[in-house]
Amino acid sequence: MKRKSLLALLLAASMAASMTAATGTVAFAEEATEETTDEAADDADDAEAADDAEAADDTETADDAEASDADQEAADKVAALIDAIYVQERTDDTDAQCKEAKEAWDALTDAQKELVEGEEASPEYFGRDTGDASKDDPRNQDEIGENELLVVSFGTSFNDSRVEDIKGIEDALAEAFPDWSVRRAFTAQIIINHVQARDDEHIDNMQQALDRAVANGVKNLVVQPTHLMHGAEYDEMVEAIDEYKDKFESVAIAEPMLGEVGSDATAINEDKAAVAQAVTDAAVKSAGYDSMEAAAEDGTAFVFMGHGTSHTANVTYNQMQTQMEKLGFTNAFIGTVEGEPEDTACDVVIDKVKDAGFKKVVLRPLMVVAGDHANNDMAGDDEDSWKSMFEASGEFDEIDCQIEGLGRIDAVEQLYVEHTQEAIDSIAK
């Protein structure tokens, strides 16, 4: 009896222990399941958040790309409008095209303006500050009278230079000849369009100026070109005037700055001597020297950079070099942007200056205006500018630039006055 009772107690205890263990296992399993479920939910939440963030990034990237495309499209439109007016021929649509290009530019954001790039277009077309255009006078007024003095220039879009150089010559002529109405014409329609579009300044081209003279009843027409020489621009001007000669009682064309070309490099004249003296005087003064000789003693050479031309008149540049030598200026060198004549190319001039032993160089334009060529081709920061090439040669200690046109020099202005007087006198005869 006692033995059976003991066995029963043991059996009961064993069953209780088994049930307890089973209950614990179930509880643990349930807890583990709950934890796994919670972790899975957390993971799902994280994944959903990541998906949302990725989707947002994708949307933002797409928006940025769309905005970038829209910016470029707006800039390209302006570039096309600029290229459309960067032409040498005026049409019935030119005025409207100039206005449309400027309005489209003004509508761009600063970021969009930096994207403007075309065959000729760039942010500088409208964005570069070249001075105050309001200081200029387009001299396109009517009520001219019977005597007109038409001053013909290639032109420049650099406002400061246009005022100091071209207007400077025109003002000197107006003062010298009060009985003549001084008017202006540019031969470069590209420049006329640029100034009109950017500054709303309207300058006549040759045809417009001559038509204006006819419409105003001008009887005596004297034309004073500001060109350096009898080159291609001068020839085109003469052809345009020839078509109008029968519309006036008298027409006279004055000499350009440097007068007659001459047959070869040794053919110099009083005009070339006057300009050589005038430009060197101005150059040494700006450089802080008393004379060309004093500059030479200090190891300084002056390089006068002209435009250059394939026209037969390009011998004029060689003649100017001859003239400098005749004046005893061993430190004066003539070069040209176009390298025509060949011995005026930049690399050739660099060798000449180096071989002459000068270690300091002053670059200055041999041009009526200090415009695009002076600011960019001569004094610009691009590797193909004259300043950059002189620096890259490693042969010189100092390279300075004087961005001053010939037109602002009083002696040059008076030379034009002399040429105009000769033309007026030829009418009187």
**Which positions are catalytic?**
307
If DSSP codes are grouped into helix, strand and coil, which group holds residue 300?
A: strand
Q: 376 Cβ partners below 8 Å, 6+ apart?
A: 382, 385
b/e map 357-391, b = 16+ CB within 10 Å = ebebbbbbbbbbbbbbbbbebbbbeeeebbbbbbe
Give me the sheet containing 332-336, strands edge to edge: 332-336, 300-306, 360-365, 398-401
Query: Do 181 and 149 touch, CB atoms closer than 8 A?
Result: yes
Amino acid identity of residue 262, one-letter, is G
CA distance 409 to 421: 19
Query: Do 144 and 179 touch, CB atoms closer than 8 A?
Result: no
CA atoms within 13 A on the CB side of 24: 6
Dihedral sign, Cα of residue 268, residue 274, residue 279, residue 284: positive
CA distance 410 to 175: 13
Residue showing tokens 């009961």: 12
Dihedral sign, Cα of residue 183, residue 185, residue 191, residue 195: positive
Task: Please write down the HEC assignment for all residues of 377-419.
Answer: HHCCCCCCCHHHHHHHHCCCCEEEECCCCHHHCHHHHHHHHHH
